[in-house]
Amino acid sequence: MDSQETQNGWSQYKKLIIHELEGTERQLDRILRRMSKLEQKLTVVQTKIYVAASVAAAVFTGLVQLVMFVLGKT
């Protein structure tokens, strides 16, 4: 069967397919690593947004209380 595979080009085709699959696997691994890094960066950005929103809410609340205090004295 080995000579028959060689005659009809199956052996070369099989090598080509294996080579292409290996290349695709490497590309997929790179994509997955990049995606993992992006997920980590996104988590950091979300955390910063939550902290900034909390600080803004605290400042706004303080300002509202100050205005209410000042208006209550007059």
Instruction: Give me the residue spans of the domains in the chain.
Output: 2-73
Per DSSP, the residues of 7-74 read HHTHHHHHHHHHHHHHHHHHHHHHHHHHHHHHHHHHHHHHHHHHHHHHHHHHHHHHHHHHHHHHHHH-
Low-confidence ranges of the chain (pLDDT < 70): 1-7, 74
For position 8, what pLDDT does the model report?
73
For position 3, what pLDDT does the model report?
65
For position 61, what pLDDT does the model report?
97
For position 28, what pLDDT does the model report?
98
